[in-house]
């Protein structure tokens, strides 16, 4: 399916879309429309068997709320070229969230019981070998899995839709977002510094 999105002779999008985007779209589509049905115990293709695409809206919300700063430092993000000094609109710092892919989260997760759950999610649901590195872009899958264990039936698509909603309705890509009405207002760390300094 992913291959045909790009390569189909009549309907394919060709170079207008990348391989990773095709893959993510196919997984989102299959999950949202429930084209494959599995019980979670089957460890087949589930609602958290694909990663959240860290695009402009989702990445901006995750960064500005402080979520990503729980997983690495500002200096880490600068070193990884996620934060690009002075390259954002209006001369503020630009956040290139796609550069987070493959980057290792801070060590706190490695010393906790939750690390075993992370390994389980990565191996059984994402089907990604036996890597013992906690990669930042996979943390949402772990959180969604933990919510599932607590009886909440959320998917990666739900998580991404929520970030898109906040990003397009409240956390605008300028210095005057609608923080007072934002559903993340109580937990957001960015209302002062992060919103003024960073754009996607």
Regarding beta strands 198-199 and 93-95, do their DSSP bridges make them parallel or antiparallel, or are they unpaired?
parallel
**Band of residue 17 on the pLDDT scale cut at 50, 70, 90:** confident
Kindly state the average pLDDT of the residues 88-98: 89
Q: What is the pLDDT of residue 14?
A: 87
Lowest mean pLDDT among 16-25, 138-147, 160-169: 16-25
DSSP 106: P
Q: What is the pLDDT of residue 109?
A: 67
- Angle, nearest 10°, between helix axes 156-169 and 139-149? 120
Boundaries of every domain in the chain: 1-37, 52-199
- Look at residue 152 and tell me whether its pLDDT is greater than 80: yes
**Band of residue 44 on the pLDDT scale cut at 50, 70, 90:** low
Chain center to CA of 79: 20
Q: What is the pLDDT of residue 45?
A: 66
- Look at residue 43 and tell me whether its pLDDT is greater than 60: no
The pair phi, psi for residue 89, each rounded to 5°, is: -55, 135
CB burial of residue 113 (10 Å; 0-12, 13-18, 19+): exposed
State the average pLDDT for the chain: 84
Locate 5 and state its tokens: 């999105």
Greater pLDDT, 191 or 136: 136
Residues 60-71 pLDDT 10s: 899 999 999 999
pTM over 0.85: no
What b-and-e string marks burial along 177-189, b requiring 16 or more CB atoms within 10 Å of the CB?
bebeebebeeebe
| Closest alpha carbon to 70 in 144, 140, 171, 153 | 140
Q: What is the pLDDT of residue 81?
A: 96
Q: Is 41 helix (H, G, I), strand (E, B) or coil?
A: helix
Greater pLDDT, 89 or 159: 159
User: Sign of the C-alpha dihedral, residues 68, 71, 72, 77?
Assistant: negative
Yes or no: say if 57 and 177 are a contact pair by the CB < 8 Å rule.
no
């Amino acid at each position: 399916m992913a291959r045909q999105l790009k390569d189909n002779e009549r309907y394919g999008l060709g170079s207008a879309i990348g391989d990773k985007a095709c893959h993510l779209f196919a997984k989102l589509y299959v999950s949202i429309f429930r084209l494959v049905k599995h019980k979670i115990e089957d460890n087949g293709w589930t609602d958290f068997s694909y990663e959240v695409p860290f695009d402009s809206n989702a990445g901006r919300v995750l960064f500005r709320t402080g979520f990503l700063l729980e997983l690495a430092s500002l200096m880490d993000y600068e070193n990884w070229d996620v934060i690009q000094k002075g390259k954002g609109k209006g001369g503020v710092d630009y956040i290139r969230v796609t550069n987070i892919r493959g980057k290792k989260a801070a060590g706190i997760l490695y010393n906790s019981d939750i690390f075993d759950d992370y390994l389980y999610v990565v191996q059984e649901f994402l089907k990604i070998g036996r890597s013992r590195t906690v990669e930042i872009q996979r943390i949402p899958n772990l959180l969604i899995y933990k919510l599932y264990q607590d009886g909440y039936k959320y998917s990666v698509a739900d998580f991404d839709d929520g970030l898109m909603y906040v990003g397009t309705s409240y956390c605008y890509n300028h210095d005057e977002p609608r923080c007072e009405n934002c559903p993340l207002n109580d937990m957001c760390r960015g209302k002062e510094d992060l919103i003024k300094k960073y754009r996607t």
